[in-house]
Amino acid sequence: MRIAMIGAGYVGLVSGACLADFGHSVVCIDREPEKVASLNAGRMPIYEPGLDALVAENVRQGRLAFHTSLPEAVAEADAVFIAVGTPSRRGDGFADLSFVFDAAREIAGALSGFTVVVTKSTVPVGTGDEVERIIREANPGADVSVASNPEFLREGAAIADFKRPDRIVVGTGDARAEAVMREVYRPLYLNQAPILVTDRRTAELTKYAANAFLAAKITFINEIADLCEQVGADVQQVARGIGLDKRIGPKFLHAGPGYGGSCFPKDTLALVKTAQDAGTPLRLVETVVAVNEQRKRAMARKVIKACGGSVRGKTIALLGLTFKPDTDDMRDAPSLAIVAGLQDAGAKVRAYDPEGMDHARALMPAVDYAENAYACAEGADALVIVTEWNAFRALDLDRLRRTMSSGSAPVLVDLRNIYDPASAARYGFTYCGVGRSKENAAVSAS
């Protein structure tokens, strides 16, 4: 199959590279010339484990190419995927579809022969109808079918997710388009990935429903964590106790600073708007959005409280800035709100992140960036683990303790619960986790 991928961001680049690796011939098109030049020079514009090697190998095999110009690749393609961004629209939070519609207009003029135009971007219900209208209006003679194929990959595990998906959702009512899509994903039949073929609107909504459900699961355990702190229970054990129930499952039950990233915040918001417009408000999702929003800033207050009620003049060291490990993505990361909250309260913030500091510098110029975790902790009054990078899971607590402020027990605020409260206490830290009551920490320390 010949495939054109419009947009070479996280989704377009990973999907394009994986589809090439399946044996298809893929051209990724991006409107940013620097991005394309960098890809053609073998440099990845994003950090994603394994991506550089996958791209290099498929470019070498002649199955993957990068261009800024769209017409030739689209004219030759059996399937054209739209994988451009759909950020929150300023003002009302609905998905900004301007990139999708621009891409549709550009594609329309270049179509030749039967082509399936596939929306891979996360788009609100009915967007496929509008994409189809745009294309038919611009090119009435085109032999085209517009399908939906939402993407469920996770940053940090994107290649594995794309190659071994739990399911593939294809939204089309057209047998020819379905046949093309089945051919695109044929290599995955070997892994027995279920293909769910639905109508277009159902596929579009399925993506939002999945993200809203996962966001709700995270928010649920975060609220349970708050309750645990008040009543002397341990959220880690509560999560395990409910997660072992097969009806619930253990994933997305890790209490923390609130969800962030390029998808959950904007997608939950867009779903709320879609539902309001449809006259069927999703009260549960509205609450999830509100609770999560206030939680990020609340984490700054949590740090301040752990520091005895004031951080004015104190140095607070943050480990991890990206919204999750194994990515350099800073979009809507909880660290942004936490840093702002701490700086507003008069703290001097120092930070270290293994991959995210380039992006972070642009967003948070007043932060002092360190070379590594220990340099970050040097002389600090409190150390806050914001993102659970593997590199932070087995820090030398003794060295860390000695590196930090020489005052009384320095504070370790573990927003991901990756350390055992008792051993942190043994190393001389005043430990503060999420959903782990002081009583529990004291009990397990004794």
Ligand X SMILES: NC(=O)c1ccc[n+]([C@@H]2O[C@H](COP(=O)([O-])OP(=O)(O)OC[C@H]3O[C@@H](n4cnc5c(N)ncnc54)[C@H](O)[C@@H]3O)[C@@H](O)[C@H]2O)c1
Residues that bind ligand X (CB under 6 A): 6-12, 29-32, 35, 83-86, 99, 102-103, 106, 121-122, 151, 153, 155, 262-263
Query: Minimal CA–CA distance to 207: which of 271, 164, 162, 277?
Result: 271
CB of residue 309 vs ligand X: minimum separation in angstroms? 38
Q: How many CB atoms lie within 10 A of CB 93?
A: 16
Distance of CA 169 to the CA centre of its chain: 19
The strand pairing partners of 118, in sequence order, are 81, 147
Q: Is 263 a catalytic residue?
A: yes
CB of residue 35 vs ligand X: minimum separation in angstroms? 6
Q: Which of 324, 350 has the CB closer to ligand X?
A: 324
Q: Which of 35, 359 has the CB closer to ligand X?
A: 35
**Positive/negative CA dihedral, 337, 342, 345, 350:** negative
Nearest residue by C-beta to ligand X?
9
CB of residue 332 vs ligand X: minimum separation in angstroms? 11
Answer whether 81's CB lies under 8 Å from 118's CB: yes
> Structure tokens of 367?
């932060």
**Choice among 18, 228, 263, 376 that is catalytic:** 263
How is 58-101 classified by DSSP, letter by letter? HHHTTSEEEES--HHHHHH-SEEEE----PBPTTT--B--HHHH
Q: Which of 274, 440 has the CB closer to ligand X?
A: 274
d(CA 152, CA 155) in angstroms, rounded, equals 10
CB of residue 126 vs ligand X: minimum separation in angstroms? 15
Residues 278, 283, 287, CA angle at the centre, nearest 5°?
130
> Structure tokens of 360?
């972070």
Answer whether 30's CB lies under 8 Å from 70's CB: no
> Structure tokens of 335?
């660290």
Q: How many CB atoms lie within 10 A of CB 238?
A: 18
CB of residue 30 vs ligand X: minimum separation in angstroms? 4
CB of residue 292 vs ligand X: minimum separation in angstroms? 17
Distance of CA 369 to the CA centre of its chain: 23
Q: Which of 13, 228 has the CB closer to ligand X?
A: 13
Q: Which of 144, 367 has the CB closer to ligand X?
A: 144
Q: Which of 21, 155 has the CB closer to ligand X?
A: 155
Positions marked catalytic: 263
